[in-house]
């Protein structure tokens, strides 16, 4: 079945579609009919436009939603720098201190942390670019052991956040509604949307990619046709859901809510006297969404050779150069291999793109698992033009395997964040996490055998006049 069987059952209803224009109301009649900003919106609500692109972006790129809420987002005291947080300049995840190195890197599974919530449990591992210029990406590991406070909310002004759940369940409350995100699901929370993360199954760990420029899109299919890979109908968006908690005015509520914003990789906070989760209805195409990776329609060669891994792209964030991505999200799910006379795992490779890989579950067919190998909750980084490929044991096994139809990756799913940018690594990623496998390169490729046999009597001087 092209769907994941989850141990943790679904809690919510959703709307379906990627990039679709959707509408939802928690109270019937809360959406105005025929206009966006009437003089008096229904039920005394405020109309608020949320723009994810410039007003004049081309229609096919334009992303915006209209929210109908109890109080507008602007009703809060000034923000002040947060006293603590994972992005301060004295922290080992400081984006200003990225180290750019050509070495192949691999990490053991990152530690869980039962003392942090989702925001304080974010660790920047690597990145590139500058959110003030809306250029670049940030690659994260998250580990958390407690839910965010009921009276808190977080949003990023720096970019869209793609979350890859690896261990544990995220129950994500956003301004636009709830998303339940389980291992083998991803979600994307666009720039500016406030949210709160709860942990209904206990501690969590996973990966995240922040996109500073543009938004994720489905990859073009070209001659594949009109279906396959991630189908638009399988993406799920929340239904409107709201809380009533305010006073007669925005500053007179009985409770206090802490709003934290990530702004140029620094955290700022304010406290307001009304809940930020008061959106009664909304319509538009700028919203958070989730996707079950088990629904990905994998394609591959049915004759010979291993195609480029771009055939496994779920989401892509294009650069200004056609066919080149600031960030691709690629997965390697269970799939059948049938190619004849072919080395079936991914080949040895040097790439103009940077490749950050993680493992959600199981084993990856081109890398050994187990202690000291590529394990769930761990990661690897092969930067621009850094050679990589199957380790020696995997190569020998695949080179001598019987080439019958084979199902690989059952119970497994690896993924890749691929970027055209050269990626720097934080101090936390290189040293403080204490997870770097120092012998990764030697253990993977130091034992690669020489199979070359020079043909007898053949000259090797064909380049000479």
Closest CA to 208 of 356, 85, 333: 356
Among 123, 215, 283, 382, the active-site one is 382
Among 198, 349, 396, 443, the active-site one is 349
Catalytic-residue membership of 252: no
Task: Report the distance separating Cα 243 and Cα 260, nearest Å.
Answer: 19
Burial class (CB in 10 A: 0-12, 13-18, 19+), 363: buried
Place of tokens 């979350």: 163
Place of tokens 């890859």: 164
- 3-class state of residue 309 by DSSP: helix
Catalytic-residue membership of 60: no
Catalytic-residue membership of 382: yes
Task: Report the distance separating Cα 328 and Cα 351, nearest Å.
Answer: 14
- 3-class state of residue 392 by DSSP: helix
Catalytic-residue membership of 438: no
Residues 408/346, Cβ–Cβ less than 8 Å: no
Among 48, 210, 355, 418, the active-site one is 355
Among 25, 150, 306, 396, the active-site one is 306
Residues 394/367, Cβ–Cβ less than 8 Å: yes
Closest CA to 425 of 160, 98, 118: 98
Task: Report the distance separating Cα 228 and Cα 312, nearest Å.
Answer: 10
Q: Which residues does the annotation mark as catalytic?
A: 306, 349, 355, 382, 388
């Amino acid at each position: 079945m092209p769907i994941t069987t989850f141990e943790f059952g679904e809690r919510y209803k959703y709307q379906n579609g990627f990039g679709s224009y959707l509408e939802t109301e928690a109270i019937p009649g809360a959406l105005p009919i025929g206009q966006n900003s009437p003089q008096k919106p229904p039920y005394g609500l405020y109309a608020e436009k949320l723009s994810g692109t410039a007003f004049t972006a081309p229609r096919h790129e334009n992303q915006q939603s209209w929210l109908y809420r109890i109080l507008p987002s602007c009703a809060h005291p000034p923000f002040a720098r947060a006293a603590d947080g994972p992005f301060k300049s004295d922290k080992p995840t400081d984006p200003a201190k990225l180290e750019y190195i050509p070495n192949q890197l691999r990490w053991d599974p990152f530690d869980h942390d039962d003392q942090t919530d989702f925001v304080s449990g974010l660790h920047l591992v690597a990145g590139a670019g500058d959110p003030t210029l809306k250029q670049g990406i940030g690659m994260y590991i998250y580990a958390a052991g407690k839910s965010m406070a009921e009276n808190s909310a977080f949003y990023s002004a720096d970019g869209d956040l793609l979350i890859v759940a690896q261990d544990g369940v995220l129950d994500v409350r956003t301004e636009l509604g709830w998303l339940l995100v389980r291992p083998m699901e991803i979600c994307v929370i666009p720039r500016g949307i406030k949210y709160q993360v709860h942990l209904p199954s206990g501690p969590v760990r996973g990966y995240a990619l922040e996109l500073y420029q543009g938004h994720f899109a489905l990859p073009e299919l070209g001659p594949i046709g009109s279906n396959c890979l991630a189908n638009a109908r399988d993406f799920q968006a929340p239904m409107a859901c709201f809380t009533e908690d305010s006073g007669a005015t925005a500053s007179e509520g009985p409770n206090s809510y802490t709003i934290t914003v990530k702004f140029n990789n620094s955290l700022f906070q304010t406290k307001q006297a009304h809940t930020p989760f008061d959106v009664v209805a909304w319509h538009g195409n700028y919203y958070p969404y989730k996707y079950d990776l088990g629904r990905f329609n994998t394609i591959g060669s049915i004759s010979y050779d291993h195609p480029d891994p771009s055939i496994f792209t779920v989401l892509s964030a294009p650069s200004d150069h056609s066919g080149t991505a600031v960030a691709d999200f690629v997965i390697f799910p269970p799939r059948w291999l049938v190619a004849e006379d072919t080395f079936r795992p991914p080949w040895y490779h040097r790439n103009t793109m940077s490749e950050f890989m993680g493992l959600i579950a199981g084993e990856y067919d081109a890398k050994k698992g187990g202690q000291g190998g590529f394990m769930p909750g761990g990661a690897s980084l092969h930067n621009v033009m850094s050679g990589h490929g199957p380790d020696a044991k995997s190569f020998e096994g695949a080179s001598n395997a019987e080439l019958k139809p084979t199902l690989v990756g059952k119970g497994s799913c690896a993924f890749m964040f691929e970027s055209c940018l050269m990626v720097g690594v934080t101090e936390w990623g290189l040293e403080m996490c204490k997870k770097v496998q120092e012998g990764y390169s030697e253990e993977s490729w130091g034992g690669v055998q020489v199979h070359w046999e020079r043909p007898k009597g053949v000259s090797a001087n064909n380049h000479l006049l």
